[in-house]
Structure 1
């Protein structure tokens, strides 16, 4: 089949950008394309973004990628109810209390088969199976839009006893909770570039999995899920005393070579949406790589120029395994792949890899938490299908949840800006995402619209850009260091429902919210590759809301379907300086008794 507009060849030398030259090299054409994609994929009251007319269940993508013929090494399993792993010959690993991680990280555990097993078990593994009638499906620790799971994960690590005698790259297989060994790396690779007892986690996206259901808007959702996975990885690492930082100096071609994704056939982008057998559409797009290292290390740097040069040789390694086929037939929404090409990040030199000291988060209401361990929280996390419209939340609990949504924690005398607190500290840029909140059932707080300013350098710009009638008043009892403001008092339940595609789940919780990003100025100042990263930041924030809700005994759900511009009109926002990127709701869940829960492992013998 012949297509037009092929992307750059993966065999070409990676492009390199010096940050001093970024502004001079800024490409208005690329920005124009990103704005076109974003506007084209907006939902409105009279028109939804383009997608499939009905779901082609016969071609629903397999949610489990496997590399056929690559060696699979099973990992250890862990109970939720206590702190001992099921293998009595292995050392015991404690699971710290969830709320304690926001105050300080525990002493770092050594890297071993046991700790790597726990790391994946508490971040990217299956959490349960669900069944009703003739349908059976799995849930995972990391949330995903529509439970479609476009995100794949890789570990790039030094030798680990009982896993590999040499440095290696492995794909994580969540259904089996095991590692598929893809390649052995040259000796000395980790010692040259990274501190002792550290390893890398690579994340990639299969756009087809989300596009099967959501059409052109799928690129947004895939990047939400990268953020969800990043936060899930960061929280699981924290439970082991490990810190996490995104290595953002590397370029897309570096990541492709690092994870062995160059084995996928080159995908040539059609000039319009097409349907047919397009197996190459199932390729994995490299998103990011995260460095996992022992907390409390002093300053160290990662030389991305030399690292990139070393990674460029990985294409010559003996890569094992052939990726399985996910669907027989496909639909290609061309604008997704064109946009992914436009926002590919090159290797950037001159950016130092900073390791900031851990910053604790505010503690206003310890009593709001239920004394659960981090494993109990992350593995019991679920996306609520409905809210009960009855459950209320105490005001102090509301403030406590929002305190853990702040990027800078509770630094004395400093404004919210830098991402220093768990899990936002994994992201190397200043916070760009804020939250407009619709408060429905918070005891002691009037119903209405509120705003959480997550980067206080944006406060004046936000206030000037939004409706002049908003009062911007500190709510009663709000802690001084929580930048939360009341904008407008009113019962906004019906409004919240209407703005979230008429979904009652947005009005029946304790509160719902929209995540508003500083948009076009960020793309201009930091370049267009920040476009997916803005969605990553919303995904990290969303994962915090998921965990906080479960930690206080209720539930939450991410809402990807909302009417973009009506949200902006409500706030008085014009142009593209600020854009709403993700919605969320928190409240008391309605449980469907028709659905039976089954253990994650061993799961039912179905490929679902």
Structure 2
């Protein structure tokens, strides 16, 4: 099965949704936490509450000097990316929310750490367990006297966590979630003065480095699909060799003892989209045969990024609180409005480059930007209700995307919005846009009551010859969602990712043709809504780690 066939097969339609479970037993929901029984644990510190870093400092070159790799800094890295941010309770129901958003709060993404030379942490592979904010030691690393400290972070997906609720569409959501997690890690790394480099060693090498190719450690537990392996650059040139893992310990827990459905098409899509080993875009190399090696020295592009002007941040909030209080809005105030001047910084944050340099968090992507943004403005004072294209690229035209879309959509307005400080093109005016987007967002009020909605779309035609590009496009869309989540919070608003929409009907609203035109096949990958959240007073908020800290979480 080709990936374009999978994408078409998993579209929601007004007449029928993509194949999914006919019923859900909420009392039998899969365990939200993966654990490795028998693995030794190292508790991580929780330093975020004692820090107050201005949000703007993350975007100011040199404002945050690189921190040393210690248990304290690792604690912050994971606390502000993959950790719990609070517990919620409504009546008898209690659930955790995390710094990283997830489709349906199901959290299929697992985090791993490869570490060498960190005091108090044995060299080797560790699994991060957000339930305890601790590292579970999975394997030891062969001794290498005199080697400088080195770190790499790995991400994987447990497809069943999403498939349990969403069926065949789950592979899409897992990749969007991986993009959110990548963004969360990049922001957290910036608070330490660190950068991340995607090593791109290929599927087999990631599986080997993260111990995901060991069936004896999983038995009847749900498997994990390797996603990413990221080298951590904390300022000093380091040559890292992640080989010689031994003394394996821990067995994965089973999350769902009695699964009611099977969705084999998810595995087919995963196998079809797996990447082969390739040389990373930044300095260093990956050797998939027996090891993964990289030099995390500061590259020319990193030096350029350090001098590139950054987008103006939306507010002066402190980054630690902003990240920990991020929530997916459940309801929006349908009367809320915002001035266009508050919108421009949010749109600017979606631009991946300033001049020739990639900027935070887009510098974590190894490939050029390929996802474009269509803005549906509902109640933005100074911007007429309608659809607008935000080309994402250094040249103001989405690096060719603008010309491609103009060729596909010649009948639209294509008027440049003079008031916008960056490139923004009006496609069409829509007086009844909120009602239309409510219907097209699977009848969710989040589409109608938002101040604005952004549809993230990409040309899927290259996926025919580059199957791994499918994952890359979905991850980039997820990363854009993470940017919008945090920028919305910084602007005093809230956001919600919308994965449920009627694909082809959204295309029709934008004007995209059903068949490829001029070799392009533009498809919507993700929706994101921003508005003024309404708080549900019936839900009580509790600290994320009450047994370890008396501090209350941000509301």
Fold-level match, TM-score > 0.5? yes
Output the CA distance in 1 between the equivalents of 2:352 and 2:331.
29
Could you state the TM-score of these two structures normalised by the residue count of structure 1? 0.81
Q: Secondary structure at the match of 1:217?
A: helix
Q: Secondary structure at the match of 1:348?
A: coil
Output the CA distance in 1 between the equivalents of 2:275 and 2:216.
20
Residue matched to 2:158: 206
Of residues 491-500 and 581-590 in structure 1, the stretch that sits farther from structure 2 once superposed is 491-500
- Please state how far the C-alpha of 1:504 moved relative to its aligned partner: 1.2
Residue matched to 1:61: 30
- Please state how far the C-alpha of 1:336 moved relative to its aligned partner: 0.1
Residue matched to 1:545: 484
Residue matched to 1:91: none
Taking the TM superposition and a 5 Å limit, the aligned residue runs for 1:221-240 are 221-240=173-192
- Please state how far the C-alpha of 1:352 moved relative to its aligned partner: 6.0
Describe the shift of the 1:260–1:460 C-alpha distance in structure 2 as closer, same or farther (beyond 3 A).
same
Q: Secondary structure at the match of 2:375?
A: strand
Residue matched to 1:406: 351
- Please state how far the C-alpha of 1:75 moved relative to its aligned partner: 0.9
8 Å CA contact 2:221–2:253 kept in 1: the answer is no
Describe the shift of the 1:96–1:190 C-alpha distance in structure 2 as closer, same or farther (beyond 3 A).
farther
What is the CA deviation profile of residues 389-422 of structure 1, one whole-angstrom value per residue up to 9, with x for unaligned ones?
12212211101111011111x32xx6xxx7x111
Describe the shift of the 1:485–1:103 C-alpha distance in structure 2 as closer, same or farther (beyond 3 A).
farther
What is the CA deviation profile of residues 142-171 of structure 1, one whole-angstrom value per residue up to 9, with x for unaligned ones?
11100000000000011211222xx21100
Residue matched to 1:326: 255
8 Å CA contact 1:158–1:190 kept in 2: the answer is no
Residue matched to 2:132: 176
Residue matched to 1:474: 416
- Please state how far the C-alpha of 1:281 moved relative to its aligned partner: 6.3
Residue matched to 2:447: 506
8 Å CA contact 2:417–2:424 kept in 1: the answer is yes
Residue matched to 1:12: none
Unaligned runs of 5+ in 1: 1-31, 84-94, 268-278
What is the CA deviation profile of residues 13-42 of structure 1, one whole-angstrom value per residue up to 9, with x for unaligned ones?
xxxxxxxxxxxxxxxxxxx61111111000
8 Å CA contact 2:48–2:76 kept in 1: the answer is no
- Please state how far the C-alpha of 1:226 moved relative to its aligned partner: 0.4
- Please state how far the C-alpha of 1:571 moved relative to its aligned partner: 2.3
- Please state how far the C-alpha of 1:488 moved relative to its aligned partner: 1.1
Taking the TM superposition and a 5 Å limit, the aligned residue runs for 1:461-540 are 461-466=404-409, 468-479=410-421, 482-491=422-431, 492-521=433-462, 523-524=463-464, 527-540=466-479
Q: Secondary structure at the match of 1:154?
A: strand
Output the CA distance in 2 between the equivalents of 1:518 and 1:57.
37
Output the CA distance in 2 between the equivalents of 1:155 and 1:352.
20
Output the CA distance in 1 between the equivalents of 2:283 and 2:502.
38
Output the CA distance in 2 between the equivalents of 1:488 and 1:234.
35
Describe the shift of the 1:102–1:524 C-alpha distance in structure 2 as closer, same or farther (beyond 3 A).
farther
Could you state the TM-score of these two structures normalised by the residue count of structure 2? 0.89
Residue matched to 1:294: 234
Residue matched to 1:569: 508
User: Among 352, 371, 376, which residue is 1:433 paired with?
Assistant: 371
Output the CA distance in 2 between the equivalents of 1:494 and 1:286.
40
Output the CA distance in 2 between the equivalents of 1:483 and 1:558.
24
Q: Secondary structure at the match of 1:225?
A: helix
Of residues 253-262 and 205-214 in structure 1, the stretch that sits farther from structure 2 once superposed is 253-262
8 Å CA contact 1:266–1:280 kept in 2: the answer is no
Of residues 97-106 and 118-127 in structure 1, the stretch that sits farther from structure 2 once superposed is 97-106
Residue matched to 1:115: 73
- Please state how far the C-alpha of 1:353 moved relative to its aligned partner: 3.9
Output the CA distance in 1 between the equivalents of 2:10 and 2:71.
44
Residue matched to 1:145: 103
What is the CA deviation profile of residues 244-290 of structure 1, one whole-angstrom value per residue up to 9, with x for unaligned ones?
11111x111111110111223699xxxxxxxxxxx746111111111
Unaligned runs of 5+ in 2: 285-298, 393-397, 549-555
Output the CA distance in 2 between the equivalents of 1:149 and 1:294.
28
Residue matched to 1:343: 273
